[in-house]
């Protein structure tokens, strides 16, 4: 039995005198066997792709609808959800939280500082859904145009949709009345046709300003702090004005925080919608980047007829050579006359050229050259 990796196949040749193993039909040459490569199993695990969100990079899968989140994020999400549920149950079962509502209401803080009411009424508008959502969507629409992506508007729309489900549904189910319309002292005022629990102003402030901080590319921490302070001040302002109980504000803060913590889980759906929207807009040519105008190319400089390097002395034309002597010899007047006459080929008789009057006077007064 042959060992693996040795000669496994043999080939018979017809060359009679070739070196090798002699046999009855010719020489036999050894052919090395090819090493067998082990079969690699095909991976069936889902391929992971990075999913970007406002909280950084999350690892999602193409086969899974939900990306993986950190343990800290999951713990915070569960803690806020439990807090929201506790506030709702505390109102339903007439807990001491209802007594706290009535205690703050009977203080009537809006009567103690009446001069601040006009300013606080204007400040509460920052928590109303209509004005804030319109202003935020206009700004995010500009961001979409500049970044050629519909993600900012899709994230805001997803957040407002989740807000309607988590807050609007509880408002309808509880039907709580506000402090100005309460009938019995110490009563939670539930199932009376109201719609103030949880506080819509507070939850909307958390979501709207929180989404702007979530989508920020720079100064995200500063935006998060400002969004938190804005939501906190708007919630307390509604209690000061007497339009909400303090428990309404607690529930509004929890509901808005739940919406913000749910946004990373909705990123795969947002990314899919973004691809579809961009595909539709590219077909219509609206999101296509404008083609850059062709820049005029500078005209090429005319190349000289002669090479830029100097020619050797033997190749230079005769007229280009310098005839100036290396030193200047001062000749007398008679020698210059003889040179002119010999160069012109005339006779030995020279004709003197008339001089100007100034030169004649100079010659007559001066010594002969």
pLDDT digits (tens, 9 = 90+) for 127-163: 888 889 899 999 999 999 888 889 999 999 999 999 9
> What average pLDDT does range 197-205 have in this prediction?
93
Residues 10, 29: contact at Cβ < 8 Å? Answer: yes
In the chain, % of residues over pLDDT 70: 59
CA atoms of 144 and 157, how far apart (whole Å): 13
Highest averaged pLDDT of the listed ranges 19-28, 150-159, 316-325, 342-351 = 150-159
pLDDT tens figures, 303-326: 555 555 555 555 445 454 545 555
The whole-number pLDDT of residue 70 equals 85
The whole-number pLDDT of residue 302 equals 57
CA atoms of 235 and 272, how far apart (whole Å): 35
Query: Residue 166: which pLDDT band, with cuts at 50, 70 and 90?
Result: confident
Residue 31 has pLDDT above 80, yes or no: no
The whole-number pLDDT of residue 19 equals 43
Quickly count: other Cβ atoms within 10 Å of residue 71's Cβ.
7
Nearest to 149 by CA among 262, 62, 271, 291: 271
The whole-number pLDDT of residue 343 equals 52
Query: Residue 85: which pLDDT band, with cuts at 50, 70 and 90?
Result: very high
The whole-number pLDDT of residue 248 equals 94
> What average pLDDT does range 77-93 have in this prediction?
93
- Distinct helix (H) and strand (E) counts, the chain: 12, 5
Nearest to 96 by CA among 202, 188, 195: 188
Query: Residue 193: which pLDDT band, with cuts at 50, 70 and 90?
Result: confident
Residue 32 has pLDDT above 70, yes or no: no
More confident residue, 208 or 314: 208
**In degrees rounded to 5, what are phi and psi of residue 84?**
-60, -45
Count CA atoms within 13 Å of residue 42 on its CB side: 1
Residue 24 has pLDDT above 50, yes or no: no
The rounded mean pLDDT for the chain is 73
* Strands of the sheet with 26-32, listed across from one edge: 7-12, 26-32, 21-23
Query: Residue 102: which pLDDT band, with cuts at 50, 70 and 90?
Result: very high
Residues 339, 346: contact at Cβ < 8 Å? Answer: no
Nearest to 251 by CA among 169, 129, 132, 156: 169
* CA angle, residues 25, 31, 35, in degrees to nearest 5: 155
Domain ranges in the chain are 1-34, 58-284
> What average pLDDT does range 214-218 have in this prediction?
88
pLDDT tens figures, 109-122: 888 787 888 888 88
The whole-number pLDDT of residue 285 equals 59
More confident residue, 298 or 198: 198
106-112, Cβ contacts within 8 angstroms, sequence gap of 24 or more: 108/242, 109/239, 109/240, 109/242, 110/240, 110/241, 110/242
């Amino acid at each position: 039995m042959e060992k693996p990796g040795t000669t496994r196949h043999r080939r018979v040749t017809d060359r009679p005198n070739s070196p090798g193993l002699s046999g009855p039909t010719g020489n036999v040459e050894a052919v090395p066997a090819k090493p067998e490569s082990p079969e690699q199993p095909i991976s069936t695990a889902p391929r992971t792709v990075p999913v970007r969100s406002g909280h950084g990079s999350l690892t999602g899968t193409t086969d899974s609808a939900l990306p993986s989140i950190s343990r800290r994020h999951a713990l915070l999400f569960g803690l806020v959800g439990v807090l929201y549920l506790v506030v709702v149950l505390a109102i339903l079962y007439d807990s001491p939280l209802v007594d706290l509502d009535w205690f703050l209401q009977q203080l009537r803080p809006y009567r103690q500082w009446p001069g601040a009411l006009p300013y606080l009424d204007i400040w509460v508008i920052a928590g109303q859904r209509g004005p804030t959502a319109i202003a935020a969507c206009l700004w995010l629409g500009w961001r979409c145009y500049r970044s050629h992506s519909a993600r900012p508007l899709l994230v805001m729309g997803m957040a407002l949709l989740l807000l309607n489900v988590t807050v609007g549904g509880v408002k309808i189910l509880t039907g709580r009345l506000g402090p100005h319309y309460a009938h019995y002292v110490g009563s939670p005022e539930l199932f009376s046709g109201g719609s103030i629990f949880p506080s819509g102003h507070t939850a909307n402030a958390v979501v709207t300003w929180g989404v702007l901080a979530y989508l920020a590319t720079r100064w995200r921490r500063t935006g998060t702090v400002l969004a938190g302070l804005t939501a906190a001040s708007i919630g307390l302002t509604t209690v000061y004005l007497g339009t909400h109980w303090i428990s309404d504000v607690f529930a509004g803060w929890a509901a808005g925080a739940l919406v913000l913590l749910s946004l990373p889980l909705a990123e795969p759906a947002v990314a899919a919608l973004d691809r579809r929207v961009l595909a539709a807009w590219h077909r219509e040519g609206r999101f296509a980047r404008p083609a850059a105008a062709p820049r005029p190319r500078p005209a090429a400089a005319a190349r000289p007829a002669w090479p830029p390097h100097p020619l050797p002395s033997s190749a230079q034309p005769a007229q280009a050579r310098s005839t100036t002597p290396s030193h200047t010899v001062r000749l007398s007047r008679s020698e210059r006359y003889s040179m002119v006459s010999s160069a012109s080929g005339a006779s030995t008789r020279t004709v003197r050229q008339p001089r100007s009057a100034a030169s004649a006077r100079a010659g007559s007064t001066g010594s002969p050259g």
